[in-house]
Structure 1
């Protein structure tokens, strides 16, 4: 169920690894995000997961995603932030960890510390973020995509390209992106 407002969104948030990879999975999608002046910060744990963590096979997609994060960080569209040990030792977060990776966990901790929204596409991280930060402080790439469609930054003709690029880059959100597109169009033409 799509239960968020497509008409408003926060353009600055703390982002985790899976959300970065989904944003970068389509040039058309990410270019729209960039042109609308969205900005993201990520923790050093997310930096490690995205740029340096060993993978079985380094594919062209991985190489391109790594280059893109470095380029966008240089352009100040993304910013790396550091956490202290005290930030990570918040008892409430550690007790509620529930199999989250260090990237998601550190992103939630930093979002809480700085009172910023948290962007994730991980279901468990989303639930935990909503418990700790509040439902209104958790964003997904699907919500960003819906906002771009609802506000006509992305058009009907862009949707097929976004889905094709997303699938080509080995990501798995195409079905949800289709649903978001349909719902954004329904709301756009209903209101």
Structure 2
């Protein structure tokens, strides 16, 4: 009888241990998704603002049609990525960020545009969105770090496959978006 109680006790301890690991995986995954949802809200605000920004710039920089088309194309590509594919969304957002930088580089070449009230208002709104994105990105990257560390360390690594652990990418600027934008009118 005492051997049976010991076996039952060991099984209960192991079951408790496995439930704790499973719950930690679920908590980490949901925290990452929550962090991404904060980013997603700011991205949607950015998507809504971009057409207004492009229309304002069009009047001043009509011969910069390619730059403006690239911004709209990057926006549409980022919006087309499925919302549950976070890693693909990060790549699309880095491309969009690069094209947005080219619009603000254009404003340096057009003093009238740089002084336009609508452009300044849109630029201020976009800056606010970018600041919100930066805060959300820091939070998201922290949750990703915690998720990935747990899934890649002991005891999580032993059960990662069983409990469907998912590795998430950090939301970082890619190498292209770290370069300075060059605008030439030659």
TM-score, normalised on structure 2?
0.28
Give the TM-score normalised by the residue count of structure 1.
0.28
Bigger Rg over Cα = 2
Structure with the larger strand share: 1
